[in-house]
Structure 1
């Protein structure tokens, strides 16, 4: 999960397609939750992947729970607060603070200062939120995850900020913001599931946390063995001018079928939903931004390397950043005028490129180049959040109605599991674009899907 620099995020939040729904949220004073038992006082070094400039930012997640059928008479905020302190014992680095050392690298001071926790009550019912669509941008999101003063920095700030908001109907919202330096989507989902297991009465989390950040350091000396052409784009193309807008597109089974039917027969039955939809959205975005022919419309695919042979990373347990990018460089003219199947084949090849040696090579390249951003304006970063573990986080009220990112930024989109009004599975994709480009993007999506149209929120 890569995120653009913070200065690119400022404009992306100025203007949003927020559904019409206003309500009040009453919050108690924020508190710091410390580990419930003694933890080691030490300094832990982060990996060279953790130390990317792209990750020095915060990511927000939203999980909505239906009150009916839960733990009758139990306050979710109090239950989660207690379990949070217990979970921080094995995950004690999350209760620490980041410090900067030589070479501007970050380390974790495991001082047990704690994570930020806010208890709140909202004057709204879940059915009202569902009526406007449970997908980004959420109405009054800044109230469901209030930005406590001094909490959103990188150095010497809480690494996690959690707010539990009870709703009028007995449902509740679990909102979390985490510093991307300390873990990726899989890592934070692992921690959230650890909290959830403790709220359900398990004596300890079923997955033991693994630190082992040294496994993802560059070689000494760094020796890139692949040509990472995406780094040639780093200093090109600033973000487009103008206000940004965030809008979620929902793709149902019929939409996905329509996309796959446009592929050649050999790919039609073998292309994954991610491969087909990523390529489809990349084409629509290139058209929306009116990218000139002869340039590049790169699609950056984020690939998890846990369990990949040769990395020595376990398939489960490691909660640091363990994803690397693989980029498809394609001329906008080819993407727009060529076969969608050819582009799908390129995305598939990019995924297959990620071996342990490729991962080592790109880590070496990152260290040689120094801390740089990987998000030129033409690049579209795509990650699949559907299988990270958010949808399994059960605090005792069942699985969440919605679980995934609460927002996104220009140039970055995630695929999120959703449900339509009939309860059937969908794929929700939040997109950020300049205002006028968003209108073109929506039109292009409709045109490419014709006659099937996605729901727009």
Structure 2
């Protein structure tokens, strides 16, 4: 990983890319899972491609031109993405006006080679904002704006970077990957996407009248003692990534086994184990007071659960899971007990009727935001989302996934310097806490 790299990017003027053929003009309501206030932002991602993997005509092609055409052709099928979000009454409901206006596209050139980014491609990427169209951040302004921003940056070595920013209200991680694969397939000359998109947002609408049947602590604004947190807004933060390969995961399993009963005979989820370990170690590194409530919050995919969603559905289909306890209890507990807290939170979020209850809560309480509680470790698992499989004709990328991690983070699949797949967890913490976390993780896994 390169941490001090600096480079210059020269961008073209932004243009709107519309669907390559006429598309329906209609209003499409977003679901009550889609249009919650906490999803009113743009999720960013980067995909790095090597020149050496290009085959056939793609080897001499301009990646910006190839992707631009593929994007226009894919938008014929994903035409709501080329529209604009409107806010309507009652209760600030979001709908997509399928105007066909298009998405923002920028082509660019950078005076840097892929190898300059280091042997391991993983956030934090130096100067990553230069590889995106818009300033990256949690901007809540989504009404009336393009829903997708794409920048293709040609590198000095002949490789390129595909950068995107997509409105979270229109798609979750799985839906975004489905869209990107469709753009890739159309860029490679296919007549239609392999998986045809399905809207079906009505399946995740609130009932009339709404009936909240489950507890939803993820939307409780008064939890965790208000807004006080040692992570102050003015404290300088540093970033680094922690890597967990086979050796580290084996050590983690031994740590769980030695610490107590995590459910004899039950399969231990890789995500649950890592989330529990890092939640506990991160809280210790931040030196919370013993009686401070701390939380871990993460996404549970609802695909394959009830209600059944059709293949091709690309909307938001997830619920948040939350585990909470005092910092003193968290730090003093055996890791097996923390793991059980995380697994229990996941089971509650995945329980029958929970997602419908979330939709009803959105309608009943005017779309409350999630994650406002202080001292919350927010993490998402995208190791199985499929970002790394996106192919615009240059083969599988050297990296595909989130562009950055802030106080929220991800579990990512990346390749280490030897080419072995490992899980990366980027972190963003104050420097003293990061030093404590690094030492604790090293000591715990190398006893």
Q: Considering the TM-score relative to the shorter chain, is it more than 0.5?
A: yes
Name the CA distance, whole Å, in 1 between partners of 2:286 and 2:362: 28
Q: Does 1:52 align with 2:42?
A: no
Name the CA distance, whole Å, in 1 between partners of 2:52 and 2:200: 41
Name the CA distance, whole Å, in 2 between partners of 1:229 and 1:396: 45
Report Cα offsets for 1:406-426 as digits up to 9, x if no partner: 11232x211111111110111
Q: Does 1:130 align with 2:118?
A: yes
Unaligned runs of 5+ in 1: 1-16, 452-457
Residue matched to 1:225: 213
Residue matched to 1:186: 174
Does the 8 Å CA contact 2:123/2:403 hold for their aligned counterparts?
yes
Name the CA distance, whole Å, in 2 between partners of 1:18 and 1:435: 18
Residue matched to 1:13: none
Q: Does 1:91 align with 2:116?
A: no
Deviation at 1:292, TM superposition (A): 2.3
Match of 1:342, SS state, is: helix
**What RMSD over aligned residues (CA atoms) do the two structures have, in Å?**
2.2
Residue matched to 2:157: 169
Match of 2:237 among 244, 248, 273: 244
Deviation at 1:371, TM superposition (A): 2.8
Residue matched to 1:275: 272
Match of 2:176, SS state, is: helix
Name the CA distance, whole Å, in 2 between partners of 1:369 and 1:313: 25
Q: Does 1:391 align with 2:384?
A: no
Aligned length: 430
Q: Does 1:77 align with 2:64?
A: yes
Of stretches 152-161 and 29-38 in structure 1, the one that deviates more from structure 2 is 152-161
Deviation at 1:26, TM superposition (A): 1.5
Q: Does 1:344 align with 2:332?
A: no
Name the CA distance, whole Å, in 2 between partners of 1:33 and 1:304: 31
Distance 1:98 1:409, change over 3 A: same
Match of 1:115 among 103, 118, 129: 103
Match of 2:414 among 409, 413, 418: 418
Counterparts in 2 of 1:402-413, with a 5 A limit? 402-410=399-407, 412-413=408-409
Relative to the length of structure 2, the TM-score reads 0.91
- The runs of at least 4 aligned residues of structure 1 exceeding 4 Å deviation read 265-269
Deviation at 1:437, TM superposition (A): 2.8
Deviation at 1:18, TM superposition (A): 7.5
Report Cα offsets for 1:182-206 as digits up to 9, x if no partner: 1111111100000111122221001
Report Cα offsets for 1:360-401 as digits up to 9, x if no partner: 123223333333332222111221111112111011211111
Residue matched to 1:378: 375
Name the CA distance, whole Å, in 1 between partners of 2:67 and 2:86: 28
Match of 2:20, SS state, is: coil
Match of 2:325, SS state, is: coil
Relative to the length of structure 1, the TM-score reads 0.89
Deviation at 1:179, TM superposition (A): 0.9
Residue matched to 2:319: 324
Name the CA distance, whole Å, in 1 between partners of 2:237 and 2:42: 19
Residue matched to 1:5: none
Unaligned runs of 5+ in 2: none
Does the 8 Å CA contact 2:48/2:162 hold for their aligned counterparts?
yes
Deviation at 1:449, TM superposition (A): 2.2
Q: Does 1:139 align with 2:163?
A: no
Residue matched to 2:430: 434
